């Protein structure tokens, strides 16, 4: 089945007389008939549900759909994208371990790695995603347990060469984890390029209607844990084979850290997934139309969008993505810097100012005056965020209406 059919029919497969839509199991707990039945669940000897902090049938049906979309063997939903990134790493690393990460990742992930996980004793080396394989190889240490990257970095738009990072990771004998939030499996399937584990903020395009915060981790089942017994604990591999990574995330991390999403949120996510293939292509096409228009405007200083034919990522986009653009998010700058950018944004009427991206409503954010407002212009430049940078998430409205809105706002500055 293709990704388009799986978006609609993956996961929940109703049998005779069962509800067509995935039911919301709004129950914290599940009943059994004998004490032994329950004991077998605790011993992981029998499959089944006993407490929703560990697993819930609604969540699992939706996770199954996302696993199918990515071409993986198993998946787990988490209560946020941040929880997915945290679990993906903690499932492999403990204090004293080390991770090689692309330096171009979502700001929340960067802070999670460089501050919070570092406080727990896990060390990170951040490498330039453009670095040569020889340079990337230098970042590895004997205690390196995994490599992390983001298919299309939020907000920089830098595209990860997945095959290059997968080769570097595998040469060293560790898995590559890729945050595939922006393209979604409709536009890019990282496992096809050698990634081993994929994470998502389902909060973004997968939900697509800004209705729930959620995350997901998918395992390809391809990494051969048993080949490196000195590096990875193998008790789960012996018992669960290709399911080991996700079973461990459930039985260990979910049990102890409890970042399970509400089954109702999983239901909302599934409604979004049913139209993901239709929506994401429209987002990507509209963004390309608008990026081409924006760059021709004399008041616009620059436009950064990997879908543009003369983007430095054009070759990589052609190789890794299905379609001309990797997502619907771009960045651009207004001539005149910070003050002009603010005036421009305040003049927009259809496009809203929102701390979000990747949903049906078009929105903009100005990192210099929002997410990074404590930084001076010099500090912003050092962080790779020009003071005039506007992040623009192109929604599902008519692109001509969006262009008209941008046009009238440009006329006001
Ligand atoms: C938003 C986002 C996250 C974090 O997701 P939350 O659901 O907000 O916790 C992680 N990675 C990327 C690429 C994101 O855009």
pLDDT of residue 386: 87
The per-residue pLDDT for range 57-112, each reduced to its tens digit, is: 999 999 999 999 999 999 999 999 999 999 999 999 999 999 999 999 998 999 99
| Domain termination site, one of 247, 272, 297 | 272
CB of 77 closer than 6 angstroms to any ligand 1 atom: no
For residue 239, what are the CA distances in angstroms to 20, 67, 242, 331, 367?
Answer: 34, 21, 10, 47, 47
pLDDT of residue 211: 96
Low-confidence ranges of the chain (pLDDT < 70): none
CB of 151 closer than 6 angstroms to any ligand 1 atom: no
Same domain? For 92 and 220 the reply is yes
CB of 108 closer than 6 angstroms to any ligand 1 atom: yes
Cβ-proximal residues to 24 (8 Å cutoff; 6+ apart), any chain: 58, 263, 264, 266, 267
CB of 304 closer than 6 angstroms to any ligand 1 atom: no
Expressed in angstroms and rounded, the spacing between residue 204 Cα and the centre of ligand 1 is 7
pLDDT of residue 367: 85
Mutational test site, ligand 1, from 79, 81, 363, max ligand atoms within 8 Å of CB: 81
pLDDT of residue 368: 83
Do residues 394 and 330 touch, judged by C-beta distance below 8 A?
A: yes
Same domain? For 20 and 127 the reply is yes
CB of 79 closer than 6 angstroms to any ligand 1 atom: no
Index of the ligand 1 atom closest to the CA of residue 203: 7
Return the CATH number at 232.
3.40.640.10
Number of domains in the chain: 2
Same domain? For 244 and 316 the reply is no
Expressed in angstroms and rounded, the spacing between residue 42 Cα and the centre of ligand 1 is 32
Same domain? For 254 and 114 the reply is yes
Expressed in angstroms and rounded, the spacing between residue 33 Cα and the centre of ligand 1 is 41
Same domain? For 371 and 329 the reply is yes
Return the CATH number at 378.
3.90.1150.10
Index of the ligand 1 atom closest to the CA of residue 358: 15
Same domain? For 266 and 316 the reply is no
pLDDT of residue 4: 98
**Cis bond upstream, residue 155 (ω within 30):** yes
Cβ-proximal residues to 267 (8 Å cutoff; 6+ apart), any chain: 21, 22, 24, 58, 62
d(CA 352, CA 361): 8
Expressed in angstroms and rounded, the spacing between residue 19 Cα and the centre of ligand 1 is 32
Expressed in angstroms and rounded, the spacing between residue 82 Cα and the centre of ligand 1 is 6
Strands (E), 111-175: 123-127, 144-150
Nearest by Cα to 11 from 266, 357, 354: 266
- The answer to the question of residue 305 being in a domain is yes
Domain that holds residue 119: 11-272
CB of 82 closer than 6 angstroms to any ligand 1 atom: yes
CB of 202 closer than 6 angstroms to any ligand 1 atom: no
Same domain? For 257 and 398 the reply is no
| Domain termination site, one of 272, 297, 318 | 272
The per-residue pLDDT for range 293-332, each reduced to its tens digit, is: 999 999 999 999 999 999 999 999 999 999 889 999 999 9
From atom 4 of ligand 1, which residue's Cα is the shortest distance away?
81
CB of 213 closer than 6 angstroms to any ligand 1 atom: yes
- Residue 137 burial by CB count (10 A; 0-12/13-18/19+): exposed, middle or buried? middle
- The answer to the question of residue 34 being in a domain is yes
Same domain? For 249 and 356 the reply is no
CB of 150 closer than 6 angstroms to any ligand 1 atom: yes
- The answer to the question of residue 378 being in a domain is yes
d(CA 77, CA 25): 15
């Amino acid at each position: 089945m293709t990704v388009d059919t799986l978006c609609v029919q993956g996961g929940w497969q109703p049998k005779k007389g069962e509800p067509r839509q995935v039911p919301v199991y709004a129950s914290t707990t599940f009943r059994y008939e004998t004490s032994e039945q329950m004991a077998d669940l605790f011993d992981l000897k029998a499959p089944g549900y006993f407490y929703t902090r560990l697993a819930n049938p609604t969540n699992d049906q939706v996770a199954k759909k996302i696993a199918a979309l990515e071409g993986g063997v198993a998946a787990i939903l988490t209560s946020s994208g941040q929880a997915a990134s945290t679990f993906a790493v903690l499932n492999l690393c403990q204090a004293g371990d080390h991770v090689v990460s692309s330096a171009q990742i979502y700001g929340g992930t960067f802070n999670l790695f460089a501050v919070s996980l570092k406080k727990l004793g896990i060390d990170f080396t951040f490498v330039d995603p453009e670095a040569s394989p020889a340079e990337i190889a230098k970042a590895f240490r004997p205690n390196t347990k995994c490599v992390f990257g983001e298919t299309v970095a939020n907000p920089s738009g830098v595209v990860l060469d997945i095959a290059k990072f997968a080769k570097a990771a595998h040469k060293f004998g560790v898995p590559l984890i890729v945050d595939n939030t922006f393209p979604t499996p409709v536009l890019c399937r990282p496992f096809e390029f050698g990634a081993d584990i994929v994470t998502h903020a389902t909060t973004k395009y997968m939900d697509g209607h800004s209705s729930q915060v959620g995350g997901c981790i998918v395992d390809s089942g391809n990494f051969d844990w048993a080949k490196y017994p000195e590096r990875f604990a193998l008790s789960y591999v012996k018992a669960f084979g290709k399911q080991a990574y996700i079973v461990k995330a459930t039985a260990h991390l979910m049990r102890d850290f409890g970042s399970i999403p509400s089954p109702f949120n999983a239901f909302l996510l599934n409604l979004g997934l049913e139209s993901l293939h239709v929506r994401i292509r429209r987002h990507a096409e509209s963004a390309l139309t608008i990026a081409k228009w924006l760059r021709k405007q004399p008041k616009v200083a620059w436009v950064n969008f990997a879908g543009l034919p003369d983007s430095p990522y054009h070759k990589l986009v052609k190789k890794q993505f299905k379609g001309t653009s990797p997502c619907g998010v771009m960045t651009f700058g207004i001539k005149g810097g910070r003050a002009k950018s603010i005036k421009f944004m305040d003049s927009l009427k259809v496009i809203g100012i929102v701390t979000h991206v990747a949903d049906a409503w078009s929105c903009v954010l100005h990192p210099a005056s929002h997410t990074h407002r404590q930084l001076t212009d010099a500090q912003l430049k050092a962080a790779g965020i020009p003071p005039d940078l506007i992040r623009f998430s192109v929604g599902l409205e008519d692109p001509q209406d969006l262009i008209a809105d941008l046009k009238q706002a440009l006329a006001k500055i």
